[in-house]
Each structure stands twice: as structure tokens, then as C-alpha cells.
Structure 1
């Protein structure tokens, strides 16, 4: 843990920015959703014999009589799944009352048979609303945990129970909402395009270099209309990272009308309504788990090819996307994409970011899939910041900027891998957002290779800088 302490290698400026976060008060991280039931029964489930409703802002459960076991009448939360880690400190707390005095059970357990529990305790509810709090130390290592209230197996017949302010927190001294302090480093995707290619081509002479220089490095996973069930795809990726105590980087890339100026990366959701459904599922699948998300690369760069109505429509979708991460993914840092240093003037990009909802995002991303040096990009980012009403941090894609830009953007020759993913160094973070070796399209030295397709030749050129 405390990877941020190990990453202070950049400069005194970076150190000065980090120290307040370390010295300031820390807060627990909430693992549950809708514990105050402001969204009805969303995220809560029950057995079929125990119907749920919301009564005066509290969760109401009608519990049957005559059941044999505690788990025969049950409610709880298991979707989206949350992680429990061995040795970390947690607290389950809630308010509860019932129509009659009953001894019931609560567990925090793994949601797979035989359902081992890290918290398993009995408590008594009666007609007086009482506050309950159960601190415990995690004894499981699972990304698939659930909370249960087990209400069956009791004499005395049917009864009603009410719950409110249900909270399960990880109180292991993490800064609230800061995913970089909640994890032990960036996640290395074992199923990235380069990693998969190496696995499938172990005898290829290029495999060893690609494995050591690219496939074993942290990089983003891109999600779009090729991802199938977006909730399952995002949930699986973030869940694997969370189980490893690592920070995943994701790219949401599905805006309708993408690449309006006729480049190689067209596509996206079929309609604004479809996009809203898609991005809502994306954010909900992350839930309370830590993550970094880059929202729609290039979406604010090609306005010159769009009508004002199209611009307004796009801004509406981007603002909606930002709001979804703010509402549904409290431990995610979401970055609206701000193009690159050679595309749009800084003052214009600041206006575009503002119009797309930057106020509700953590910050903005720069140089995604491009080649400008980190120094050039930081200068541009600082200029964008200077034109914003309120300063926002930014991250830089360093996956292919080791030799800087030569004025071309689509698979140009002579480019090179840049600094691997890390905190600081000028921007808030340097990240491999574009997957090195993935083609920009059928162009340049990648002629015949569709956009997004991994090429060992392109990868090797980036390793060697030719």
C-alpha cells in the first residue's frame, strides 16, 4: 500500500503536491451503494419470500414466519460486487428496527459456495430504532464479496424490519475518493493485445522484447461497441484489478459520430440514447472500486467538422458521462479528453472542456494516441489550465512520445515508447493510454492494419525507435 509514497521520484513540486494528501485527515472508503435508499431499492436484493420496499426513506422488508434457517429469508447487496482484502480494517454500520423483537444475523461473505464469511454476527432488533456498528478485520481475499441480513429461522411468526444508513467501509487509512492511495500500483492487464500476442506466439523472435518492454507494463484497456455487455466487461476488468490491489486505467470510447472529420476511428454508439445507457452501465459497473477513466479521446478536437446542433448534442452526452462517474463511481478519477498540443489552441480547448462538463470531472487528459513530448504537453496543459475558471489536473499519454512528434499522427515512423505509467513528472500522472503496437489505422507504416489491431512490427519499431 501507499504506492504514492514510493512514487515520489519526480521533483520537489510533485512532492509538495503530495505531502498535504498524506498529512491531511484520512477517511474511510464506502463499499456499498444506495445505503440511504434515496434511489429506492436499487442495488438491494432479497429472497422471493421477503419483499422489499421503501417506507419513509427506510428499507422495509416483510419477513415470513415458519422458515427453518436464518438464510431462508434474506436481503443484502452483492451487485456490483465489492472486494474484501485480508488484514484490512472494515466497519459495517446501520440503523434498524422491527415490528417485534427478533434476533437476526448479518454477514460479509464471499458470494460463492460455501460462502465463507469474514463477518458473521447476531444482533437483536426491536421496536426502537437503534444504531449498530460492527468493526472487523478482513480474513478473506476476494473480489466477489456480498453483505447479507439473514432474517429467517425464528419462532414468533412473520414480522417487519426496517433498515437505514447502511454502510460498509474500508477504514484502512485511505484518502477518501483518491484511487492512487487506495491501491498498490497500476494494474498490468494480462489480457492486453500485446500480452495476448506474446502468449499466442511464444516462438516468434520478437516475443521476448515485446514481453519485457510492453506486455508487462501497465496500460489502459479500451471499451467500445466491440466490448459486448459493457457492464460485464468493465466489471470483470475492474474486479480483477481490485482483487490484485492495483489501479486500472480504462478508456470509454463509444461516442456517436466519432471522428467526424473522416479519419480512421469512426464508429460509436448508434444514438445519444444508446450512448447514455452504455455509459451509465460503464460507470455503475465500476461502483466503489478505484479506477482511472479517460472519457472519449478526440471527442472535443474535431468540432470544425460539426454543426452547432451536433456540438450541443455531443456536449450533452459528455456532460452526462461525467455525471455518471461522479454519481456512481465515487473512487474513480474521470478525465475528459482535451486533445493534444498540436491540434486546438489552448484557450479554445478550455472553452470546449468547460462546455462538456469539466467542472464535474476530476481533470482532463492530453496527448492520447499522439506523440508530443511530455514537456510540450505539460506546457500546453498549463496553458489550458490558465484559461479555465477553476484549475483542474491533467494526465499525459506517454505510451509513444519517447521521440516526440514529427507532424504526423497515423502510424508515423521513428516514434518510440515513452515513460511508463507513474505519478507526477509534470502532469498529475503519466499513463500508457494508447496500447503500444495497436495500429492507428491503415496508414503510415501500418498500411493494411485496421485501427486498434495489434502489430508486432509496430510494437518492435516503438521499442527500437525506428
Structure 2
């Protein structure tokens, strides 16, 4: 693989030239100085308030469209089969369920997007992906605010409607400026709240290094949570690494990290929103650690359900986050055979992924893992790139997977030795569960565990 050495010790393929652009359809979605291009009904006056659009909504209206604002000047096109992402920030003086549509702007107003969403009193990000079902040059965006007994005010900001057509899924990502360092990682939060000698050591060795942020059912608004991570990374011109970890029945074998979305339908809604929230910005996503490794602990019916969900998830990232490299998790070398894993990857449709990930939250060395990855590729129709989690593999695997003693940090943010990327996917210092070297639940940061990982 031709490569070029870059800042932060990162090495990337020389062919990685940058992410493809998408087409923005909304005009003046940031409301810096005016509400130009936006209209509202006479009973719903709008104005600029601290760089946001403010709408004063009357009470007592009968239908949602009886109080409304939107944009159709200029009108914009919607094309059948194109993929779109509508995203915006919103808050209100009281919790309200509202409606948004993208529709043809003359009667009978057929819509290609018609979705309810709930705003609260704190600003949140919303992201909605959809496929164009209309072919029209006269489309409009609406926010329908009525059908509430009492009046309220609502604010919108950073409204965007992107046509992703023309971007190619798996477009090259430039890592010239390196990977994003999470300023709100568990280690960094602990360091900032607990100054002292231990914190100094953890800060230098762990908290200031690039690592992934994990997303799951603990995020009450997944679009907002993703925005809070990807937005600052994009502004800093760094590439973020995210882990999607919300599949129903997750960690079926280990049990310490059980949970996930409650139903298949809930997961599909969650993962589509996850992808739409990333949008056209470059990112790396590790998709559902353990999800294929867990097969031997699941019934055939549950396996079939999981296959459907992973197939759906891969399609959503392809459709709505085309500049994201998605790595479908493939377990580790101690968890089943390479042949079995290749069959599972094929069954799920790894062709729709950029590649696969190995050793997530485990300890096998990079040298041990690469032959396993090569053997998996021998069983696939075409070779796929792979990433290795090196967050805790500096001393190799012990006799147990759950907070084993004697483990050490591995190398950070690099390409080499046959892997596309070496990443810290597991957050170093986060417990695997109440076992061995930690008495804290899975996912909680244990400073004593972190100190023991530092060489």
C-alpha cells in the first residue's frame, strides 16, 4: 500500500484525496442576520433572535399546518431515487411535538418526507434521512407547528437539506491533519475533575490521544450526540472515530454489556438517524462490536434478525453518510474460525462496508491478528481492508478477556503491517465489567485500570 507519513504519527494511503461534496438545497439556514428566503403564515411571525430563527406560535389551532413556516423561494428540486438528509437545531419554550415535510409546493402537496419530531426546552440536533419519491423542480420545506392548546415560541438554527447524489460511498478520506482527539472522553473528563499525579500520567499517556467515542441506548438523542462529536471534529479538520453499539441483544456471549435498542424497528430508526447525523462529513465508524462473534450464543431466529439489522445499517451509511468508512466488526482471533467469520460477513453483506474491524475490546497483538484478517479475506469474494483495535494489545492477550491483569496500551492512530488503520477503539481505562482488575460496571472509567495499562 503506497503511503505518506503525516502529522501525529499517522500514515495514510497517498490516494486519499478528500471527501466528495454534496449539494445543499437550503438557503440561509444559519440566520446570522435575517430570515431572508423563509416565509411564515400571518399568525406565526418569525424574526432573528441571537442568530436563530424565532417563531411565535399561537395556541388553539386545529391542525399542525395552521401555524407554519418554511422555504420555497427559491424553490428547489427533488429527484426520485436521490438520498437526502434534513438536519436542524431546535428548541422551544415548552415541549412540543412538531411536524416537518419536504413536499411539492402546490396542491395537493404530495410529500417525500413527512415526519414528526419532539422539541424540548434545550437545543437539540435533529437529522432525518429519506429517499426522494417525487420528481419536481418546485419543492418546499415546511415546519408545521400548530395543533397545540397553548401558544409557545420555537427557535430553529443550522437548517440544512442535502442531496447526497454524486457522492460515492466509501469516498477517499484525507487524514492529512490526523485523527480527532475526543475532548470529552471518559479519561479526559476524569483527568479534568481529578488533578494530581495520577491524572497527569493518564492525561499524557491516554487522554490526549485519538480514540473512538461509543454511541448506544444511553444517548437520549442520537442525532444530537453524533453532532456533538462529529461537528467539532469537522471544524478542526480531523477525522473522528465512532462506534455504533446499540443492536438488540448485544454482548449475547459476554453478558457484561447487554442491552441495545428494544426492537428491530427501533434499531433501524436509530441507525438511520446515526448515519444521517454524520451526513456528508468524513468519519470512521466501527459497526456493532461482537455482533457477528455472538452468533454461537444466539438462536437461528435471533441470528436472522441480526443479519437483517446489520444489512439495513450498512445500507443506511452507504445512502446517508457516503463519506464515512464503515468497518463491520468481525470479532477476534480467539473467537471462532476465520472461515466462519468470512461466511458471516458475506451473509450480512460486507460488500456494502468499507472493511471490517478486529480485536475490538480485546488484547491480541497486531502481529497475531493480521494472519487472522488475511484468512478472513481468503474466504471473501474480494479482499476488504481492515482495522485493528490496539488500545490494550501492547502485551498481548492473557488467559481471560475481562479486565485481565498485565495488559498494556498499544500503538495509536497508524497504518502498517497489512492493516489499513490501527486505532484505539476501546477507550483505555473503561472497564469490561465487574471482574478481575476492575470492580466497576462495563463502560465506566476506572483510573486504576488505566494506570496499569501505561507501560
Q: Give TM-score scaled by structure 1 length.
A: 0.67
Quote the residue 2:380 is aligned against. Answer: 388
Residues 293 and 33 (structure 1), Cα distance of their counterparts in 2 relative to 1, 3 Å cut: farther
Q: Equivalent residue for 1:67?
A: none
- Describe the shift of the 1:217–1:302 C-alpha distance in structure 2 as closer, same or farther (beyond 3 A): same
Equivalent position to 1:318, from 301, 310, 314:
310
Distance 1:176 1:256, change over 3 A: closer
Deviation at 1:47, TM superposition (A): 3.1
Deviation at 1:261, TM superposition (A): 2.6
1:68-107 alignment, distance < 5 Å:
79-80=86-87
The reply to whether residue 280 of structure 1 matches residue 287 of structure 2 is: no
Aligned to 1:112: none
Aligned to 1:375: 367
* Structure 2: distance between partners of 1:258 and 1:168: 34
Given candidates 447, 452, 466, the residue that maps to 2:443 is: 452
2:322 corresponds to: 330
Residues 218-227 or 257-266, more deviating? 257-266
Give the aligned partner of residue 435 of structure 1: 427
Q: 1:399 to 1:179 in 2, by over 3 A?
A: farther
Partner of 1:116: none
Please provide the CA RMSD for this pair.
Answer: 3.5
Alignment of 1:44-443 (within 5 A): 47-48=39-40, 79-80=86-87, 177-178=170-171, 180-181=173-174, 184-203=177-196, 205-443=197-435
1:388 & 1:8 partners in 2: Cα distance? 33
Measure the CA separation in 1 of the matches of 2:265 and 2:380.
30
> Which secondary structure does the structure 2 equivalent of 1:180 belong to?
coil
Tell whether 2:6 aligns with 1:6. yes
Aligned to 1:350, the other structure's residue is in SS state: helix
Alpha-carbon distance in structure 1 between the residues aligned to 2:273 and 2:390: 29
The 1-side partners of 2:251 and 2:72 are apart by 54
Q: Deviations over 1:278-303 (max 9, x none)?
A: 10110000000000001100011121
Specify the alignment match of 2:59 in structure 1. Answer: none
Give the match for residue 22 of structure 2. 30
Does structure 2 retain, via aligned residues, the 8 Å contact 1:441–1:451?
A: yes
* 8 A contact 2:8–2:178 mirrored in 1: no
Distance 1:416 1:361, change over 3 A: same
Whether contact under 8 Å (2:86, 2:160) holds in the other structure is no
Evaluate the alpha carbon distance shift between residue 199 and residue 382 of structure 1 in structure 2; reply closer, same or farther with a 3 A threshold. same
Deviation of residue 49 (structure 1)?
Answer: 5.6
CA drift at 1:228: 1.1
Question: Is the 8 Å Cα contact of residues 285 and 327 (structure 2) preserved in structure 1?
Answer: yes
1:452–1:27: structure 2 CA closer, same or farther, 3 Å change rule?
A: closer
Matched residue of 2:372: which SS?
Answer: helix
Distance of aligned partners of 1:206 and 1:20 in 2 relative to their CA distance in 1, 3 Å threshold: closer
Give, in whole Å, the separation in 2 of the partners of 1:78 and 1:259. 31
Kindly indicate whether the alpha-carbon contact (under 8 Å) linking 1:4 and 1:181 is maintained by their aligned counterparts in 2.
Answer: no
Deviation at 1:181, TM superposition (A): 1.1
Question: Structure 1's 410 and 34: CA in aligned 2 closer, same or farther, altered over 3 A?
Answer: farther
Give the superposition deviation at 1:391.
1.1
Whether the aligned pair in 1 keeps the contact of 2:169 and 2:318 (CA below 8 Å) is no
Q: 1:20 to 1:435 in 2, by over 3 A?
A: closer
- Rounded to whole Å, the distance in 1 between the matches of 2:241 and 2:453 is 21
Shift of 1:309: 1.0
What are structure 1's unaligned runs of at least 5 residues? 36-44, 51-70, 83-128, 130-143, 149-164
Higher Cα Rg, which structure? 1
User: Secondary structure of 1:270's partner?
Assistant: coil
Paired residues of 1:221 and 1:250 also in contact (CA < 8 A) = yes
Greater Cα shift, 358-367 or 415-424: 415-424
Unmatched segments (≥5 aa) in structure 2:
28-36, 43-70, 77-83, 90-136, 138-156
